[in-house]
Amino acid sequence: MRARDKAAVSALRVNGERLEAAARLTAPAHADRAARLRAEAGVLLGFLVGPEPA
């Protein structure tokens, strides 16, 4: 597997972990952290798929 492919797989794994953690944070006190985890996952996914078409 090429280094770039390995990096993509690793980023997807981290992305999934962030989304799973956000899903577990259901208490109102955790709302900010869950939102940050979802936002971070979105940024990571953006790096993988590239910019949205205009």
- Residue range(s) defining the domain that contains residue 40: 3-49
- Sorting pLDDT into bands at 50, 70 and 90, what band is 1? low
The domain tally of the chain equals 1
- Tokens 């997807």 locate to 12
With respect to residue 22, please indicate whether it lies within any of the assigned structural domains: yes
With respect to residue 54, please indicate whether it lies within any of the assigned structural domains: no
Q: What is the mean pLDDT of the chain?
A: 82
3-state secondary structure of 1: coil
Q: How far is it, in rounded angstroms, from Cα 31 to Cα 28?
A: 5
With respect to residue 42, please indicate whether it lies within any of the assigned structural domains: yes
- Sorting pLDDT into bands at 50, 70 and 90, what band is 54? low
Q: What is the pLDDT of residues 18-30, one digit of tens each?
A: 888 888 888 888 8
